[in-house]
Amino acid sequence: MPKVTYIHHSGAEHVVEVPDGWTLMQGATLNGIDGIVGECGGACGCATCHVYVDEAWAERLAPARDDENEMLDCTASERRPNSRLGCQIKLSGELDGLVARMPETQT
């Protein structure tokens, strides 16, 4: 299982093992990590799972699809070049060690 480090806006870090095939959003919400809401349940329809992927990992991810890019224009916090929706990042062993920072707010 890949380990993911979620870094809250306050700086608090949570390292969680997430089963292969789960999304970054599922890993956070199902482990009670504050800072990722996931109101739409992972349907790429709300932008409340917005994260800033650590730049060392950003290029390892599949590019954002058009629907994700559109939702990223609706984020409550600043959109950055490394902004992604956690529901669109499917985890695997290749992403073991991924670091994601949560924005100040999701709503």
Residue 61 lies in a domain: yes
Residue 88 lies in a domain: yes
Q: What is the pLDDT of residues 32-82, one digit of tens each?
A: 999 999 999 999 999 999 999 999 999 899 999 999 999 999 999 999 999
Residue 64 lies in a domain: yes
Residue 106 lies in a domain: no
- CATH number, domain of 27, equals 3.10.20.30
The reported pLDDT for the residue numbered 90 is 97
Taking the C-alpha atoms of residue 7 and residue 99, their distance in angstroms, rounded to an integer, is 7
Tell me the mean pLDDT in the region 12-19.
97
Asked if 76 contacts 103 with a C-beta cutoff of 8 angstroms, the reply is yes
Give the tokens for residue 20.
């292969």
Residue 62 lies in a domain: yes
Residue 90 lies in a domain: yes
The reported pLDDT for the residue numbered 7 is 98
pLDDT > 90? residue 27: yes
Taking the C-alpha atoms of residue 107 and residue 105, their distance in angstroms, rounded to an integer, is 6
Which pTM does this prediction carry?
0.95
The reported pLDDT for the residue numbered 107 is 87
pLDDT > 90? residue 30: yes
Residue 107 lies in a domain: no
Q: What is the pLDDT of residues 82-105, one digit of tens each?
A: 999 999 999 999 999 999 999 999
Count structural domains, the chain: 1
pLDDT > 90? residue 21: yes
Its domain, for residue 81, covers: 3-101
